[in-house]
Amino acid sequence: MTPPAPAAPAGPPRAGQRGACRYGWTDEAETAFTAHRAAGLVPARVARAHRGGCDVVLGGRHSPTVPGDDNGGYGFGGDEQIRAVVPPNLAGSPPSTGDWVALRPAAGGTAATIAHVLPRRSALVRAAASGRSDPQVLAANVDLVAIVVAADVPPDLGRVERLLALGWESGGTPLIVLTKADAPGHDPAGAPSPRTATRHDEIAAVAPGVDVLVTSAVTGAGLDALAGTLAGATAVLVGASGAGKSTLANALLGADLLAVGAVRHTDGKGRHTTVSRELVALPTGGVLIDTPGLRAVGLWDAEDGLGHVFAEIDALADDCRFADCGHVSEPGCAVLAAVDAGHLPARRLDSYHKLLREQEWMAARSDARLRAERERRWKEISRAQRRLYEGRGGGRR
């Protein structure tokens, strides 16, 4: 699946721009809003979602009859945020950070109710952390999914692969941002430390077709290149606590607008200083959504995303003897042959099996027949894996 290009903004974003153009208003959104505008509703974007309500930033393409008013003459400031109520009829599928909504202003313009949520062109979705088979929208209408990884600790490659799968599946384009390149050993003149270079290569190896940018919020290295990548787009920052998401966001914003927490020196892990997803406009153009550190990264309908992440395994599978090869112990398996030859890391194949199994489990969870078939199939695969590992003296190296 090739992700769509970012939707064309309604006029180029620029520093100092106000209203919805500054927050990612597009021709597509303008078309979708036409009927709501005729009904006297106000366009806005969700900057922060709360229980029972949202903080929204108001704006829309300016009315021809009100020159210079980016909000169509509705009487609100172009960058003003207000609290909007989510009515009961939207409680089942409430708006998320990044959604465009149609507001019904109250008398005096001091309060509003969300009347409609405009169709999403993309959404970053994970399985709800509650353990129920429900989706959770982390961010809506995103062009870039920026996966933030700290360079000062060994990367969790399996977690990176999970986030990449969600990123590809979102309809946006994933990007990896390696932070804390100012760690000990970094050359302030610009050359990354040997450790940072190693981290870059480790991550690039599990991210085919994905750009990996090296940055430092302390020295400023890589920030101009990142800002150029984000210009004109809506980007969401995702990653573990302590990865440096909020510090990176503040560096891009040029101000300490987002809370930053301390990181434990023993393991490099941080506290959840960002407690809700928050949308802000970048001074150089573009929109940034900061998110809390993700403890759980459950897959949700990520079949196409997994195909992108493990593209080399899918390519090798074309040469397997059997069309339904599970790449476990089947004769003539080109994937296993690549592992034995050292061309494909065993960890990579194990991660593929793990994530594919999770994806199939999520897809089958609500269907009893598929669930039984899934359990039978994976029991067979597990037994075959045990036999294979035992036959190889405890596992592949």
Q: Does 379 belong to an annotated binding site?
A: no
Write down the residue that tokens 């003459």 correspond to.
73
Asked whether residue 90 falls in the same domain as residue 138, the answer is no
- For the stretch 4-12, contacts whose Cβ atoms lie closer than 8 Å and that sit 24 or more positions apart, written own/partner, are 4/121, 4/122, 4/171, 6/143, 6/144, 6/232, 6/233, 6/234, 7/121, 7/143, 9/232, 10/61, 12/232, 12/285
Residue 3 covered by a domain:
no
The answer on 112 and 173 residing in a single domain is no
Instruction: Say what the pTM is.
Output: 0.80
Tokens standing for residue 234: 């809506």
Q: Which domain holds residue 180?
A: 123-290
CA distance 101 to 199: 41
Q: Check whether 44 is labelled as a binding-site residue.
A: no
CB 350 within 8 A of CB 381: no
CA–CA dist 87, 248 (Å, integer)? 35
- Residue 237, domain CATH: 3.40.50.300
- Which of these, 1, 40, 44, 38, lies nearest to 19 by C-alpha position? 44
Distance between CA atoms of residues 167 and 190, nearest Å: 29
269 is in an annotated binding site: no
Mapping DSSP to helix (H, G, I), strand (E, B) and coil, where does residue 295 land?
coil
Same domain, 48 and 188: no
Annotated ligand binding at 241? The verdict is yes
In this structure, the number of other CB atoms found within 10 A of the CB of residue 261 comes to 14
Q: Do 216 and 93 share a structural domain?
A: no
Of 225, 256, 290, at which residue does a domain stop?
A: 290
How many structural domains compose the chain?
3
Q: Is 133 annotated as a binding residue?
A: no
Q: Return per-residue pLDDT of the chain as tens, 397 residues.
A: 444 444 544 433 444 444 556 888 888 889 999 999 999 998 999 999 988 789 999 864 432 222 233 444 443 445 678 889 999 888 888 999 999 999 998 766 556 899 999 999 999 999 876 656 678 899 999 999 999 999 989 999 999 999 999 999 999 999 999 999 876 555 555 567 888 899 999 999 999 999 999 999 888 999 999 999 999 999 999 998 888 898 999 999 987 665 554 444 444 444 444 456 799 999 888 999 998 877 778 888 889 999 999 999 999 999 999 999 999 999 999 999 999 999 999 999 999 999 999 888 887 775 655 667 777 778 888 887 787 777 766 554 4
Residues 108 and 230 in one domain: no
Cα distance between the two ends of the chain: 33
Any known ligand binding at 21?
Answer: no
378 within some domain: yes
Last residue of a domain, one of 117, 139, 154: 117
CATH (domain of 343): 1.10.40
Q: Is 246 annotated as a binding residue?
A: yes
**Is 47 part of any domain?**
yes
Q: Is 180 marked within a binding site?
A: yes
Q: Is 172 annotated as a binding residue?
A: no
Are 253 and 195 found together in one domain?
Answer: yes
Considering the domain architecture, whether residues 128 and 270 belong to the same structural domain is answered as: yes
**Residues 87 and 131 both lie in one domain:** no
Are residue 327 and residue 188 in the same domain, yes or no? no
Residue 325 is labelled as binding a ligand: yes
Is residue 337 marked as binding? Answer: no
289, 291, 297, 302 alpha-carbon torsion, rounded to 10°: -10
CA distance 317 to 311: 10
146 plus 283 within the same structural domain: yes
Is 63 annotated as contributing to ligand binding? no
256 and 160 co-located in one domain: yes
Residue 40 sits in the same domain as residue 74: yes
Q: With contact defined as beta carbons under 8 Å apart, do 105 and 42 qualify? A: yes
